[in-house]
Amino acid sequence: ALLRGVARAIEGDAEELSRLESLDTGKPLAQARADVAVAARYFDFYASAAEGLAGATLAGARGIFAYTLREPWGVTAHIIPWNYPMQISARTLAPALAAGNCCVLKPAEEAPLTALRLARLALDAGVPPGVLNVVPGHGTVAGAALAAHPGIDHLAFTGSQEVGVLVARAAAAHIVPVTLELGGKSPNVVFPDADLERATGTVVAAILQNAGQTCSAGSRLLVHRSIHDDVVQEIARRFEGVSIGRGLDDPDLGPLISEVQRTRVAALVREGAASGRLVTGGGAPAGDAYRDGFFFAPTLVDHVDPAAGIAREEVFGPVLVVSTFEDEDEAVALANGTDYGLIAAVWTRDLARAQRLVAELRVGQVFVNGYGAGGGVELPFGGQKRSGYGREKGFEALLEYSQLKSVAVNID
């Protein structure tokens, strides 16, 4: 009931939360509103799912009644990034609370406002003081202190690989288990028999959402050679048609989070364009209107060298790189050719082919003829390879945020 109360409180405060999220991150208002709706949905989902969190009775030796219990860890720590503060706060707090933990959340220094407001809303909804705590601060200070704190029993981290390694190491000093979600370099793999109109529209949305600053951004396009020219041309046309502006004016594309981020994106694009062909974009959009923000135009780089940084590293900007393939084997090799393994999408009308790729792709989530699932609250989410380990979302998250106790009662 408390979790449902938090969901209703989020809905009741949706306009203010959306405004704060847009103000803090620069994301278009419509995207902030969608994030807030998803945040409420997490609290509803785990309010229901908690009732299914149960142990099992086990077959055992005669005279022994054996069963398992799922118990909370105790105090769970949550270190989250700036790209989806509202969604990721809810995604990590709701299952941890539902499993019976008390939580300490450290939002990113760039965007702490909605996490703080969420804590206030939870308190007002009746969550007891001390159960949901938010400690803002810099990563190297507040984040590092939280990860190394002997009082935490579980740590969930979403952010960069580099910091993921640091927090996992700090937690290891106290034998604290960790969930790591460390981003991706996720491909859309498009075959000639796909619905190309739908595929191109989705490919564009999958990289431009939140200006590409999304762990699961569709940042690579792998396209069959026979349709390459048409698909690239269509994507370029769509890229050139997006409206760009400040988040609160609700354009298609907002600015990047910071100057640091824009400088990083620009450097990767410069290097990538040198090894491939810059089709459109490549820097800040022209015009006075874009002088006072960290804007970056939708950018398409074709024929990238798969070994180039732009084809392997998470850019976190509205930057799509394109490679072509001749056959399924080559498509799989390219798709699996980075250190990351978060998500992938396969576009084909051939279901047997889709299933072959599902089996071969080394990622935590595969979409067939689509990309994402409206926030994906129900779908377990997390990486293979260097994208991390452990699972957020879905029922799986309740298992992450609880520990198992086995009990054997002698009854003879």
Q: Which residues bind ligand ADP (CB under 6 A)?
A: 79-81, 106, 108-109, 139-140, 143-144, 147, 159-160, 163, 166-167
Nearer of residues 9 and 215 to ligand ADP, judged by Cβ: 215
Backbone φ, ψ for residue 322 (5° rounding): -120, 135
Measured distance CA(187)–CA(311) in Å, rounded: 10
**DSSP, residue by residue, 75-100:** EEEEE--SSSHHHHHHHHHHHHHHTT
182/300 with CB nearer ligand ADP:
182
Nearer CB in complex with ligand ADP: 17/147: 147
Q: Toward ligand ADP, which CB reaches closer, 101 or 261?
A: 261
Question: Catalytic residue among 21, 103, 181, 392, which?
Answer: 181
Spell out where 253-342 has E strands. Answer: 277-280, 299-302, 319-325
Extract the tokens encoding 351: 């279901």
* Residue among 66 and 142 whose Cβ is closer to ligand ADP: 142
Q: How far is the CB of 90 from ligand ADP (least distance, A)?
A: 16
Q: Which residues contact 178 (CB under 8 A, 6 or more apart)?
A: 154, 155, 156, 157, 167, 168, 171, 172, 390
For residue 161, the minimal CB distance to ligand ADP (Å) is 8
Provide the minimum distance between the beta carbon of 322 and ligand ADP in the complex, in angstroms, as a whole number.
25
Supply the minimum distance, in Å, between the C-beta of residue 103 and ligand ADP: 15
Shortest CB 126 distance to ligand ADP, Å: 28
Is residue 215 annotated as a catalytic residue, yes or no? yes
Of 163 and 308, which CB lies nearer to ligand ADP in the complex structure? 163
* Nearby residues of 339 by Cβ (< 8 Å), 6 or more positions away: 312, 385, 386
Q: Active site residue: 11, 109, 197, 215, which one? A: 215
Cα 72–77–79 angle (5° rounding)?
Answer: 140
Nearest to 122 by CA among 206, 34, 40: 40
Q: Do 76 and 102 meet the contact criterion of CB atoms below 8 Å apart? A: yes
* Helix, coil or strand: residue 38: helix
Q: What is the CA radius of gyration of the chain?
A: 22
Beta-carbon contacts of 381 under 8 Å, excluding residues fewer than 6 positions away, are: 181, 216, 364, 365, 391, 392, 393, 394
Find the shortest distance in angstroms from Cβ 34 to ligand ADP: 20
- Among 295, 219, 231, 225, smallest CA distance to 257 is for 295
From CA 306, how far away is CA 169, in angstroms rounded?
31
Q: Which is nearer to ligand ADP, 139 or 282 (CB)?
A: 139
Distance (Å, whole) CA 149 – CA 347: 46
Nearer to ligand ADP, 169 or 225 (CB): 169
102 is annotated as an active-site residue: no
Burial class (CB in 10 A: 0-12, 13-18, 19+), 283: middle
* β strands within 262-333, DSSP E: 277-280, 299-302, 319-325
Provide CB contacts within 8 A for 233, sequence distance 6+: none
* Residues tagged active-site: 181, 215
